Amino acid sequence: MNRGGSSSASSCPSSLPGDGHGSGHGHSECRRVCSNCRKVLRQEKKIRVSLPLTRGPSAFIPEKEVMQANSLNERMHLLVEEYSTSGRLDNITQVMSLHTQYLESFLRSQFYMLRMDGPLPLPYRHYIAIMAAARHQCSYLINMHVDEFLKTGGIPEWLNGLEYVPQRLKNLNEINKLLAHRPWLVSKEHIQKLVKTGENNWSLPELVHAVVLLAHYHALASFVFGSGINPERDLDTSNGYRLISVSNFCACDLANDNNIENASLTSNNFGISDSLSELEALMNRMKRLQEEEEEASQEEMDTRFEKEKTESLLVFTDVFDDELVSTVDVSRYVEDPGFGYKDFARRGDLPTFRAQDYTWENHGFSLVNRLYSDIGHLLDEKFRMVYNLTYNTMATHEDVDTTMLRRALFNYVHCMFGIRYDDYDYGEVNQLLERNLKVYIKTVTCYPERTTKRMYDGYWRQFKHSEKVHVNLLLMEARMQAELLYALRAITRHLT
């Protein structure tokens, strides 16, 4: 696989592949050129703005760290041989291989929903993946599934856009849009509309298969952007169909990321000593919380959840002033592109989803397994795997119980989607997740296409890259489970 960095003639001239150096003036000039690039994109739809790539599978993680994990991991290569849907060791798999236990669960469930017997024909599965990835302008996943769509016998004309696909696929647009950005709005009426009698209706098993695919690829887009996954270097055309370029952010954003002062994320420039003190402070807070014996009253627990939900409104993620532009290639798969995430906490008229009333374990699992045989077991294994995964380390510290931290990450994602656990003290979220990390979590989960290397580097500066990848896995699975809970609850209400 060719991983050398190259720059196209249309890239921003003040950025170089893998160049982390540049003056403030250079950045200003680069931003001006960025704006010009986007103007050209709007005027000349055929021009492709390529992204100069760092070496390796991730723009955020040094290649040697991923390559070292791969070279030592024979189990990972066996898994790819058995469960790869693309017949290749792709960049997502290479980065996930930092956690082989989880990777096995991920590959098995993805292989099942894409390749094994199920309600939907194979081309439909890949086209739904394309539709889901397009909600976040995720060129990486779109390219992957354009290729797979054609290999499994998909009709090439469908790749010209949604107006060329069967009406029943078009009918998924609404639930795709809602699940991706505001899943709390999915209702039994949406389900009834899709399954009503008629030539374009969906059976319930087909719809569950589609919903699982949509949630999977929305969440996987979060992982792709959160981990800085680079495009596959040897993909340019698929069966004669030219694949799209990565152009939802300009090259210079990546190349100069480390040198841009980020006033919105940090109030000072952290040095090594600050990073170490940050780590020690987190360790101390965890220790203090573990030692506290006094339980908060239910009233206090209610107050802490509402406070956390409201404070999530203050976590801003708009780092760049430039408008995020969807390429014409991506927009062909999207209906209502302006529809995006809006903070659940702003919607005072919406009741909080009380997790105890509809849980994955007691309700979602059995429903999905009944309508789409065995996928429930595979998803359940994957959720449990990532939630319980631990090496009992935190940066340089060993023998650490990280349960509290993993739970805070998972529950904070659900909080942003309006899901509350009555028996969880949301005061822990404020204690354990510092502001830079909250900004990162909200961006990766709600607006993944806006994620930058600066955000990735801006939290937990002393932690290993493998630990940050673990964070991304937790965010991905928490997001997928949240989407599924809302969709499956709506299906349950339709059935009752």
Higher pLDDT, 55 or 108: 108
- Whether the pTM exceeds 0.85: the reply is no
**Is residue 340 over pLDDT 70?**
yes
Of 344, 139, 123, 114, the residue nearest 216 (C-alpha): 114
Q: How confident is residue 256, by pLDDT bands cut at 50, 70 and 90?
A: very low
CA distance 24 to 22: 7
Q: What is the mean pLDDT of residues 324-343?
A: 77
SS3 452: coil
| pLDDT tens digits for range 122-140 | 999 999 999 999 999 999 9
**Is residue 19 over pLDDT 50?**
no
**Is residue 2 over pLDDT 70?**
no
**Is residue 285 over pLDDT 70?**
yes
Do 77 and 89 meet the contact criterion of CB atoms below 8 Å apart? yes
Percentage of residues of the chain with pLDDT beyond 90: 59
CA distance 359 to 347: 22
- pLDDT, residue 148, reads 95
- pLDDT, residue 8, reads 34
SS3 477: helix
Q: How confident is residue 387, by pLDDT bands cut at 50, 70 and 90?
A: very high
The first and second tokens of residue 11, run together, are 């890239």
Higher pLDDT, 199 or 273: 199
**Is residue 486 over pLDDT 50?**
yes
Q: Across the chain, what does the average pLDDT equal? A: 80
**Is residue 257 over pLDDT 90?**
no
Higher pLDDT, 218 or 303: 218
- pLDDT, residue 189, reads 97
**Is residue 5 over pLDDT 50?**
no
**Is residue 307 over pLDDT 90?**
no
What number of other Cβ atoms are within 10 A of residue 345's Cβ?
19
- pLDDT, residue 111, reads 97
CA distance 467 to 409: 13
Q: How confident is residue 42, by pLDDT bands cut at 50, 70 and 90?
A: very low
Q: How confident is residue 293, by pLDDT bands cut at 50, 70 and 90?
A: low
- pLDDT, residue 71, reads 78
Q: How confident is residue 234, by pLDDT bands cut at 50, 70 and 90?
A: low
Specify whether 138 is catalytic.
yes
CA distance 401 to 391: 9
Q: What is the mean pLDDT of residues 349-370?
A: 89
Q: Comparing 32-36, 138-142, 262-266, which segment has the lowest mean pLDDT?
A: 262-266
In Å, how far are 231, 284, 489 from 126, measured between CA atoms? 18, 47, 25
Q: Comparing 29-38, 419-428, 433-442, 466-475, which segment has the lowest mean pLDDT?
A: 29-38
CA distance 145 to 120: 15
Of 477, 484, 487, the residue nearest 382 (C-alpha): 477
Q: What is the mean pLDDT of residues 209-225?
A: 98
- Determine which one of 12, 30, 138, 446 is catalytic: 138
Q: How confident is residue 345, by pLDDT bands cut at 50, 70 and 90?
A: low
The first and second tokens of residue 356, run together, are 């105890």
DSSP 235: -
CA distance 122 to 143: 16
| pLDDT tens digits for range 156-166 | 999 999 999 99
**Is residue 94 over pLDDT 80?**
yes
Cα angle 176, 182, 185; round to 5: 90
- pLDDT, residue 495, reads 95
Higher pLDDT, 442 or 310: 442
CA distance 436 to 441: 9
- pLDDT, residue 348, reads 58
Q: What is the mean pLDDT of residues 459-478?
A: 97
- pLDDT, residue 312, reads 60
Q: How confident is residue 290, by pLDDT bands cut at 50, 70 and 90?
A: confident
- pLDDT, residue 359, reads 94
Query: Which residue type does 360 have?
Result: W
- pLDDT, residue 314, reads 59
Q: What is the mean pLDDT of residues 218-237?
A: 87
